[in-house]
Amino acid sequence: MSDKPRHFATRTIHAGEQFGVADNAIFPAIVTASSFTKRGLDDHPEYAYSRVSNPTRHAYESCVAALEEGVGAVACASGVGATATVLELLPKDAHVVVMSGVYGGTFRLLEDYRSHSAGLTTTYVDLNDLQAVSAAIRPETRLIWIETPTNPLLHLVDIKALCELARERGILTCLDNTFCSPWNQRPITLGVDLVMHSASKYIGGHSDLIGGVVVAATEALFKRLRKISMAVGAIQGPFDCYLALRGLKTLDIRMERQCANAMHIARFLESHPQVERVYYPGLESHAQHALCQRQMRSGGAVVSMRVKGDRATVNRLVEALSIFVLADSLGGVESMINHSWSMSHNSLSPAQKEAMGIGENLLRLSVGIEDHRDLIADLESALEAATADT
């Protein structure tokens, strides 16, 4: 089946190579076998050992690769595992240019582990400042790590402009597309070499799996990733691959509802007297709204806000919510709220958090598929309760 004549909603159901184990099954089977039999010493079947390849994992990987318009994908045990797999592409003592304000887990992996084990060095810059990017590039620079939108302040990167610079300098680019999913943004079409996701978020979509995935734009990169995945073995198991593939089936309708809900909520919060600032690229007031319109389908399903008040105010707000749940993740069908200072970026020092612009009054909302009127009412009553005594 050719993907090209299909619209995205159709491709989420049919893309990739989802058949083969049982050709008449409407959904790929969960193949839990660790090993597969051979007919003889010269037999080299497609599947021999599940660390190397597995039918359920292949069905999922091929679907994600098709949706991202890449050549192939490798499914990893977690989003951080996917990041670590990409870093295995780099030689020892390589240098990486990284988007300032990058996700705390990525920062921790780069600074606390890869710097010691592989001599990796990093420079953090605003990737929209191409002069700063050029100045940061060294002879040993091998990768530019892009996060757009960033977590949690939703800064964007001009993907096409940055990739043109990277290609001129012979440097790989990898983009963390977790916050958008391939529904909202397809970086490979803008020139990115590698796309990674924490599949635990929008790809799975139901808060019931841990996983990551890396998609390659070229056959050469895909072959290298496959070898790394086989050697390192940080693969995603068949049950989680099944859940992720099942989640992809509803990606289009989930994202359509979640992003529409997020816009309603962002507009409500922007006009609320107890909200100091709203971060949402879908709003006309966002400094990068025009860029959002160029490279994203919508403003996304994440909204961040600064509440007027201190940590105690924020805590009262969180405790007063009845629909939004306080949780460390995002991207599920249920609406979640996250306190970046003490949760997603807790491992960073206060100075590092402040340098990123993360304060104690910052909250990140992952907007679900509930009715937006109920979500707004929940936020409105919680904001009132939080500030009742101030």
* Residues taking part in catalysis: 51, 103, 176, 201
Indicate the length of the chain as a whole number: 390
Burial of 45 (0-12, 13-18, 19+ CB in 10 A): exposed
Say which residues have a Cβ less than 8 Å from residue 43's Cβ, sequence separation at least 6.
Answer: none
Distances (CA, A) of 248 to 63, 147, 359: 8, 22, 34
Pair of tokens at residue 250: 């509803």
Go through 46-76 and write b for each residue having 16 or more CB atoms within 10 A of its CB, e for each that does not.
ebeebeebbbbbbbbbbbbbbbbbbbbbbbb
Say which residues have a Cβ less than 8 Å from residue 213's Cβ, sequence separation at least 6.
Answer: 61, 64, 73, 74, 75, 76, 82, 196, 197, 199, 203, 236, 244
Please give the order of strands across the beta sheet that includes 336-338: 275-279, 302-307, 362-366, 336-338, 325-326
Q: What is the CA radius of gyration of the chain?
A: 21
Say which residues have a Cβ less than 8 Å from residue 353's Cβ, sequence separation at least 6.
Answer: 340, 341, 345, 359
Under 8 Å between Cβ of 234 and 85? yes
Under 8 Å between Cβ of 336 and 330? yes
| Partners of residue 235 on adjacent β-strands | 76
Could you count the other beta carbons within 10 Å of the beta carbon of residue 389?
8
